[in-house]
């Protein structure tokens, strides 16, 4: 680091340069001069900030607010930490203090060097500063702030320092004024890229370690070296925040195009530098022609910025199976990142509440770019030409068809949200993908309806007149409406402001001598226009638009040789269901959809009844390995009616086995009682050698959820009627319980599975001919601030009536302490009838939840059972557990039971090991055959495992 004298000389030199450059030319802007010194060893930035706040409002201010987003990493109670917990990320919660980031305020004084009172708001990363004198409208005040920023490690977000690469990525790293327009907009850092700050004229005098290369979105006025350090002066006018990237390698390349100067390090390993330059020229020309001239001296387009908002989808596959040509891949990466950065730095919308408009413009231009330069590009790229893949409907989809497809992933699951929803209220998939794609698709929809040239002109007019100024979406709306005489209120009132689905169908077609009378039904009642295409031999021969179809409308069109009529043929409209969008004009039999069998799951093809098939292989010790064929109709997008059959063959039993289910799902609303499921399921397997069970279970389930879709809380009420049929070979003797039985089961479940606080409980009632019973279970997990996790489970079950004690096996329907008999065949036992050997050691935490095998008289309860299961971690995934319980059988005294041991919680609920230490049996570790006492949990269901990775998105 430079000496104090040397630093003072350099500081004076740069301050002189600042005064010469003429700060204050634009009096409406706040003015900001920072001297920042980055210590590469301590990862701290020491900052002296001279800030001039201009009161551009008509309100006298006595308080100012500053965004201190670097402090969002400081604790486990910030908005950022809470957002992470909602997304099942606990990295920040578990972080060590030296890995965190925080701000230490040393002093805050006014221009008379009087101390200013400041405090943090409840959000912790926003500072409230009390002025010593009120600030009238049109006046300004100067603040001198001295503070230190401790940078976080970049393991939580991309920002901070990378200790492996010895690099730094700084964004939103110093104090900036919160935006005020009569109301303070105070937005906490939630890793949403939506800092809302006033526009400033800024100079940053940045001192940083030697041997690092600096890149920035600000203009670099000068750079000098001195012993043990470097200093750069960065400057910007009408920009919001200084972004700085430091790395040991010189990664960034400057491209000077006729439109703008670009500094980039976007990666494309197999694309040469000349090709990159040509592509950058093409992209910058397209941006200027379709958006407008970039007003700043340079544009920073970094690989780090791209990785925050990548091209989601198949292009994220590993590079060795990348399906796209390098040129296309590079241009799309560069185009997306450049558009996001340009709009962020030039259109000053409310980034939390009006982000949809920036998303709409960016994605609309990306759609237009592909239509212009890559009209034949397929979604699967080169993979669409491979035998075995090219027959899939997904392989035939154009690249731009991903926009309605990915939006429908949440729309079909009733998780879609209006475009104007605040960023911090969107579920992650909507915030990152679905809403952005719906926004861009919306402008494309509008362009198809009123004319592309009108939408293109509106975007350029909007950008020309409102760049570098505070703007609202109403400004864009007014410009659009001036460009057309067609009513487009539906776009803002229905498409943008609601989550109402769009869904039309052709109800019938009547042919006359020279015309067609087409009856179109609006299935959802969303009043938006719909397009109708006439096709002949897969060529479009006519196209019409119809609007104001509230329910049903009959329209007349002239005959033009059409063989088929199709709604929304070009898929410009994100329609909920396209399976009923077409009508054949060739007679009754030509209108029947053909059956199409497809290997593995595919996207929807509205012209076929699709049946998917895929080989499966299951295992239990009685059937052995059971290969089979799964037949189902569920596409990549959810659909209301689903069937799924999996016939298999058991080589060990030399018999057919398998399962099947037919389900109808009805979404009722967005919150409250939101879903109803009706299903009939059946299965048939073996429960021991030469012994088969079969189940037939009709059921209905209702689900409730809160209006905040980010919340993981859910409530379910399930009513089912389980019918079990059992038989076995004659030489195995008779059943010790009735072979066939039926159980009516009602269960209410309430669960909120947070990663910091997990709570779930259910109340269960069962009724059968020989028994009635009720049960209650509560499970609670708490991850404390000291990173200690405590797990608690309580279970209680009671028979209301019980005639099963008269059976030869009186415990078949009893409550079990350590291994339920599973008479309803709900659990995934690998060997459900085993009482010795490795398969008997499988544990499913249900009913008593004990881990030790206790004596037979303790293991079942035909009257009532209560247990408590607890565990606490010692180090990472190593825990100690203990269980307490009370077992009561009719006619005998109750038994107090207990056990304790070590739990290896490798993956909660998916893969765990239990090592009993002490129980009613005594010291178990000192007893023979200890290996037979170890219990394990293992989950082999692909659907269950996939849910582990998708839960953070939905």
Question: pLDDT tens digits for 840-879?
Answer: 999 999 999 999 999 988 999 999 999 999 999 998 889 9
In this model, does residue 356 exceed pLDDT 70? yes
pLDDT of 884 > 70? The answer is yes
pLDDT at 314 over 70: no
Residue at which a domain ends, from 233, 251, 269: 251
Question: Looking at the structure, do residues 563 and 684 belong to the same domain, yes or no?
Answer: no
Beta bridge pairs of residue 691: 688, 728
Q: Do residues 746 and 859 share a domain?
A: yes
Please indicate, yes or no, whether residues 215 and 130 belong to a single structural domain of this protein.
yes
Residue 400 lies in a domain: no
Q: Is position 624 within any domain?
A: no
Same domain flag for 683 and 807: yes
pLDDT at 90: 84
Is 10 a residue whose pLDDT tops 50?
no
Residue 451 in any domain: the answer is: no
Tokens read off for 18: 């600042």
Residue 47 pLDDT greater than 90, yes or no: yes
Terminal C-alpha separation, the chain: 48
88: confidence class by pLDDT, cuts 50, 70, 90: confident
Phi then psi dihedrals of residue 256, to 5 deg: -100, 110
Q: What is the sign of the dihedral through the CA atoms of 630, 631, 637 and 642?
A: negative
* Shared domain check, 676 and 588: no
Q: What CATH number should be reported for the domain holding residue 21?
A: 2.60.40.1730
State the residue range of the domain holding 765: 668-695+725-950
State how far the Cα of 575 lies from the Cα of 407, in Å rounded to an integer.
10
Residues 557, 672, single domain; the answer is no
| pTM listed for this prediction | 0.90
- 215 and 103 in a common domain: yes
Q: What percent of the chain has pLDDT over 90?
A: 76
In a domain, 76, yes or no: yes
Q: Please count the structural domains in the chain.
A: 3
Distance separating alpha carbons of residues 948 and 907, to the nearest angstrom:
10
Tell me which of 215, 232, 251 is where a domain ends: 251
State the Cα–Cα distance between residues 612 and 734, nearest whole angstrom: 42
Phi and psi at 79, nearest 5°, equal -60, -35
Provide the mean pLDDT of the chain. 91
d(CA 949, CA 954): 10
Task: Indicate the pLDDT class of residue 22, thresholds 50, 70 and 90.
Answer: very low
CA distance 399 to 80: 35
Residue 522 sits in a domain whose CATH number is: 2.60.40.10
Winning range, highest mean pLDDT, from 306-310, 616-620, 898-902, 911-915 = 898-902
Task: Confirm whether 431 is domain-assigned.
Answer: no
- Helices 402-411 and 435-450, interaxial angle, to 10°? 120
Whole-angstrom distance, CA of residue 492 vs CA of residue 501: 14
Residue 227 forms part of a structural domain: yes
Does 166 share its domain with 77? yes
Assigned domain for 362 exists: no
Give the domain-ending residue among 592, 613, 646.
592
In 234-301, where does DSSP find H-type helix?
Answer: 273-290
Please indicate, yes or no, whether residues 867 and 736 belong to a single structural domain of this protein.
Answer: yes
Q: What are phi and psi of 886, to 5 degrees?
A: -135, 120
Pairwise pLDDT comparison (66 vs 754), residue with the higher score = 66
Residue 470 belongs to some domain of the structure: no
């Amino acid at each position: 680091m430079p000496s104090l004298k040397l630093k003072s000389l350099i500081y004076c030199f740069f301050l002189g340069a600042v005064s010469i450059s003429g700060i204050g030319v634009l009096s409406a802007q706040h003015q900001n001069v920072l001297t920042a010194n980055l210590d590469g060893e301590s990862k701290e930035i020491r900052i002296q900030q001279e800030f001039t706040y201009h009161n551009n409002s008509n309100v006298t201010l006595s308080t100012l607010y500053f965004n201190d987003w670097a402090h969002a990493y400081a604790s486990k109670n910030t908005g950022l930490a809470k957002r992470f917990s909602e997304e099942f990320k606990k990295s920040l919660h578990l972080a060590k203090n030296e890995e965190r980031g925080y701000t230490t305020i040393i002093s805050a004084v006014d221009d008379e060097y009087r101390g200013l009172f400041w405090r943090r708001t409840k959000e912790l990363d926003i500072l409230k500063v009390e002025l010593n004198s009120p600030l009238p409208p049109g006046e300004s005040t100067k603040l001198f702030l001295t503070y230190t920023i401790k940078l976080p490690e970049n393991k939580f977000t991309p920002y901070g320092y990378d200790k492996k690469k010895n690099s730094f990525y700084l964004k939103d790293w110093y104090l900036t004024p919160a935006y005020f327009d009569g109301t303070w907009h105070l937005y906490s850092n939630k890793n949403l890229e939506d800092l809302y700050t006033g526009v400033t004229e800024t100079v940053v005098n940045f001192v940083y370690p030697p041997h690092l290369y600096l890149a920035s979105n600000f203009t670099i006025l000068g750079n000098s070296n001195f012993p043990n350090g470097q200093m750069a002066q960065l400057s910007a006018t009408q920009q919001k925040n200084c972004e700085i990237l430091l790395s040991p390698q010189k990664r960034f390349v400057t491209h000077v195009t006729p439109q703008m100067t670009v500094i980039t390090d976007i990666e494309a390993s197999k694309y040469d530098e000349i090709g990159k330059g040509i592509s950058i020229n093409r992209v910058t020309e397209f941006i200027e022609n379709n958006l407008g001239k970039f007003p700043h001296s340079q544009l920073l387009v970094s690989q780090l910025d791209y990785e925050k908002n990548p091209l989601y989808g198949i292009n994220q596959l590993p590079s060795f199976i990348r399906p796209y040509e390098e040129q296309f891949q590079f241009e799309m990466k560069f185009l997306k990142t450049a558009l996001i950065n340009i709009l962020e730095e030039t259109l000053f919308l409310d980034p939390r509440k009006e982000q949809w408009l920036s998303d709409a413009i960016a994605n609309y231009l990306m759609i237009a770019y592909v239509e212009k330069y890559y009209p034949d590009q397929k979604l699967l790229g080169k993979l669409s030409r491979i035998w075995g893949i090219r027959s899939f409907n997904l392989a035939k989809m154009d690249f731009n068809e991903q926009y309605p497809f990915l939006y429908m992933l949440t729309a079909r699951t009733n998780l879609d949200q209006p475009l104007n929803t605040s960023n911090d209220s969107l579920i992650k998939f909507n915030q990152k993908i679905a809403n952005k794609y719906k926004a861009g698709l919306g402008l494309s929809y509008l362009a198809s309806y009123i004319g592309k040239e009108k939408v293109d002109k509106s975007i350029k007019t909007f950008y020309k007149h409102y760049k570098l100024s505070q703007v609202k979406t109403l400004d864009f709306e007014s410009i659009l409406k001036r460009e057309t005489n067609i009513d487009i209120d539906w776009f803002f009132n229905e498409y943008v402001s609601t989550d109402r689905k769009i869904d039309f169908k052709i109800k019938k077609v009547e042919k006359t001598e020279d015309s067609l009378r087409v009856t179109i039904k609006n299935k959802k009642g969303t009043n938006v226009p719909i397009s109708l295409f006439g096709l002949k031999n897969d060529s479009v021969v006519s196209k019409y638009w119809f609007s104001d179809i509230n329910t049903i409308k009959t329209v007349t069109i002239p005959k033009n040789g059409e063989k088929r009529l199709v709604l929304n043929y070009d898929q410009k409209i994100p329609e909920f269901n396209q399976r009923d969008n077409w009508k054949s004009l060739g007679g009754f039999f030509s209108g029947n959809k053909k059956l199409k069998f497809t290997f593995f799951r595919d996207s929807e093809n509205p012209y076929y009844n699709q049946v998917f098939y895929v080989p499966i292989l299951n295992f239990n010790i009685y059937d052995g390995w059971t290969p089979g064929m799964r037949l189902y109709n569920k596409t990549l997008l959810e659909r209301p009616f689903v069937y799924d059959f999996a016939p298999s063959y058991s080589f060990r039993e030399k018999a057919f086995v398998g399962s099947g289910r037919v389900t109808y799902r009805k979404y009722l609303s967005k919150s409250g009682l939101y879903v109803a499921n009706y299903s009939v399921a059946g299965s048939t397997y073996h429960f021991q050698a030469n012994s088969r069970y079969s189940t037939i279970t009709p059921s209905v389930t209702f689900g409730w959820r809160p209006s905040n879709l980010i919340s993981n809380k859910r409530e379910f009420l399930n009513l089912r009627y389980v019918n079990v049929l059992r038989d076995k070979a004659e030489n195995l003797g008779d059943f010790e319980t009735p072979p066939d039985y039926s159980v009516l089961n009602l269960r209410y479940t309430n669960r909120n599975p947070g990663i910091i606080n997990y709570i779930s409980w259910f109340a269960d009632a069962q009724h059968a001919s020989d028994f009635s019973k009720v049960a209650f279970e509560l499970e609670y997990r708490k991850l404390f601030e000291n990173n200690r996790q405590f797990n608690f489970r309580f279970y209680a079950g009671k028979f209301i009536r019980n005639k099963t004690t008269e059976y030869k096996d009186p415990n078949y329907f009893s409550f079990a302490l350590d291994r339920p008999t599973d008479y309803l065949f709900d659990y995934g036992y690998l060997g459900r009838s085993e009482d010795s050997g490795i398969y008997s050691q499988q544990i499913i935490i249900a009913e008593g939840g004990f881990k030790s095998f206790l004596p037979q008289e303790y293991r079942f309860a035909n009257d009532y059972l209560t247990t408590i299961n607890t565990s606490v971690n010692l180090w990472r995934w190593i825990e100690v557990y203990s269980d307490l319980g009370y077992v009561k059988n009719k006619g005998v005294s109750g038994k107090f039971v207990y056990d304790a041991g070590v739990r290896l919680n490798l993956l909660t609920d998916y893969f765990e090991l239990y090592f009993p230490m002490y129980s009613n049996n005594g010291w178990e570790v000192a007893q023979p055959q200890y290996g037979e006492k170890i219990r394990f949990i293992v989950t082999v269901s692909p659907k269950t495992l996939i849910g582990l990775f998708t839960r953070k998105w939905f």
